[in-house]
Amino acid sequence: MSILECKDLTKRYGSVTALDQMNLTLESGKIVGLLGPNGSGKTTLIKIANRLLQPTSGELLIAGSRPNEATKAIVSYLPDRSYLPEWMKVTELLEFYQDFYSDFDCAKAQELLKTLQIPDGMAMKKLSKGTKDKVQLILTMSRRAKVYLLDEPIAGVDPAARDYILRTIVSNYSEDALVLISTHLIADVESVLDEAVFLRQGKVILHKPIDTIREETGKSVDAYFREVFAC
């Protein structure tokens, strides 16, 4: 069953077209890479799915409805920036998530924090950028959501932490959920993906299972991406 669907989805900022009559259908139970160069519309798509932006025309549906309070309750979103209040302690953030999201698994979050040895009594502003990113990821992945929208989850962290983050994503998402990972660091995420969506200038130019891409082109997705988007 399709959990996320775009129908002729278009978003313009003044004269700039970020999404151009995009059509895309994504199914539950898959980890999908949303791949494209900078400015191809990845973040715009994810923001529309979270109702942080309204489309200019067309529509995006999550479990059959346009983004609203009900869809927000089943979507777990990781923005591409530090978005947590700096004054809050990690424990206070756990309470916050538990208060607002009924699907938040606090025990799981605490366990992940412990494994990573993140001191939960510290205020966010006292943590390093990399540690903040990890806290954000832990909060996002500790929800039992139907859709995970992860915008550049690995861009800001070192390669060793990247592996850890990807392992966290793979081992923590609910089996029947859709995980959409937006990134341009394809080599790093390739091993965990089921499907890849290539985005160019606001249009989907390819949407296939990873194995199919490898079989058809005889290349890794990373190598194929470099070929398609060669400047």
Partner 1 sequence: MLGKLIRYDFKAVQRLLFPVYGAMIVLSVVIGLTSRSDSGSGYTVFQISMMLFMMIVLAAILLTIYLLVERFYHNLLGNEGYLMFALPVSTSEHIIAKILTALIWMAMGCLAVLVCGIIMGLFSMTWEDLMNMFRSIGSLFTQYQFSGDTFTQLMEMLLIAALTAVSVVVKVYASISIGHLWSSHRILGSVFAYVGFTIAALLVTTQIAEVMKMQSMWSIIAYLAVWIAVYGLITWYILDRRLNLE
Q: What is the CB neighbour count within 10 angstroms for residue 148?
A: 23
* Residue (of 159, 162, 100, 89) closest to 123 by Cα position: 89
Is the CB of 99 or the CB of 175 nearer to partner 1?
99
CB of 227 to partner 1, least distance (A): 34
Is the CB of 72 or the CB of 226 nearer to partner 1?
72
C-beta of residue 20 within 8 angstroms of C-beta of residue 201: yes
Is the CB of 70 or the CB of 106 nearer to partner 1?
70
Is the CB of 49 or the CB of 186 nearer to partner 1?
49
CB of 188 to partner 1, least distance (A): 23
CB of 132 to partner 1, least distance (A): 12
CB of 216 to partner 1, least distance (A): 37
CB of 204 to partner 1, least distance (A): 23
C-beta of residue 93 within 8 angstroms of C-beta of residue 139: yes
Is the CB of 36 or the CB of 55 nearer to partner 1?
55
Residues near partner 1 (CB under 8 A): 13, 47, 50-54, 69-70, 72-73, 75, 77, 79, 81-85, 87, 92, 96, 99-101
DSSP state of 123: B
Packed helices 106-115 and 129-141: angle between N→C axes, nearest 10 degrees:
150
Is the CB of 42 or the CB of 204 nearer to partner 1?
42
* Residue (of 110, 116, 100) closest to 142 by Cα position: 110
CB of 83 to partner 1, least distance (A): 4
How many whole angstroms separate alpha carbon 94 and alpha carbon 110? 8
Is the CB of 8 or the CB of 83 nearer to partner 1?
83
Cα four-point dihedral sign 167, 172, 176, 179: negative
CB of 92 to partner 1, least distance (A): 8
CA distance readout (Å), 178 to 110, 129, 156, 187? 24, 27, 23, 21
How many whole angstroms separate alpha carbon 60 and alpha carbon 9? 7
Give Dmax over CA atoms of the chain in angstroms: 51
